[in-house]
Amino acid sequence: MKKSSLFFTLMLALLLGILASPSLAQAPPIREQLVYSLNVFDGKTYTSGFCPRGEDTIYIIANENNAITARITLVYFWPITARYMAGFKTLNEEVEGTLELLRDGKVIRSLEKEDNVVFYPEGYFGENSKMYLHEEAHAFFQKYEDATKEYYARIDEYYEKTREYREAFEEFLENIGERRKAGEELSRTQVEAQMPKQPSPPEGVRFYTTPVS
């Protein structure tokens, strides 16, 4: 009885300690912040992220297109991963203005917003990607939209051909059955030669382009 009582006391104390722990009992504080939303080149492809208010330096690869956008969002610190997280799905307001690059406290360059897309030649999950700006951005996105519309048109055509194939196949089975009942002997080669051909689904769009932003 003493061992059971001691075990119960220890478990109760442990449970109360867990519930009292600030990291588990309390949700992390969430604050509305001005952050920099990032879509930057990592040497092979583009990765997204954000820079919270506490960071004052952003490192990017030179001579490559990179997208940096000022946004208002919700930011909180997640102790499990020791990282700041952004709630873009809850609040994601773009801040209009000019991006100024500083060196030694002086403005060395001012950048206006430029339309951009990221093009994935091997599809969204491919290893390579490239960012395009201005007219090229709109051209590549239009190319993707046209390819997508063409694909769905081929899908509609495929569904129609599939419907026709099923009807033809049912007629084929009935015809073969009647001929066999009439005593006609048909080899497998003869049957397969007369069998309707099933249509093949169209190939999907291999590449992907993000919407213009």
- Same-domain check for residues 94 and 160: no
Tens of pLDDT, residue by residue, the chain (213 residues) = 444 554 444 454 444 554 455 544 466 789 999 999 999 999 989 999 999 988 878 889 999 999 999 999 999 999 998 889 999 999 999 999 898 888 888 999 998 999 999 999 999 999 899 999 999 999 999 999 999 999 999 999 999 999 999 999 999 999 999 998 988 888 899 899 999 999 999 999 999 999 999
- Cα–Cα separations (whole angstroms), residue 126 to 60, 64, 122, 129, 206: 21, 19, 5, 8, 10
CA distance 178 to 64: 70
Res 17: pLDDT: 52
- The number of folded domains in the chain is 2
Res 171: pLDDT: 95
User: Within a 10 A sphere around the Cβ of 151, how many other Cβ atoms?
Assistant: 13
CA distance 133 to 153: 29
Res 7: pLDDT: 45
- Which of 95, 92, 73 is CA-nearest to residue 84? 73
**CB-CB contact of 132 with 117 (8 Å):** yes
Q: What is the pTM of this model?
A: 0.73
- Same-domain check for residues 148 and 106: no
Res 1: pLDDT: 47
Residue range of the domain that includes 40: 23-110
Which of 77, 110, 143 is a domain's end point?
110
The CA-based angle 10-16-21, given to 5 degrees, is 125
Res 54: pLDDT: 81
For residue 118, is it within any domain? Answer: no
- Same-domain check for residues 50 and 106: yes
For residue 205, is it within any domain? Answer: yes
- Same-domain check for residues 66 and 141: no
- Same-domain check for residues 106 and 150: no
- Same-domain check for residues 103 and 27: yes
- Torsion angle of C-alpha atoms 142, 143, 145, 147, degrees rounded to 10: 160
Res 23: pLDDT: 47
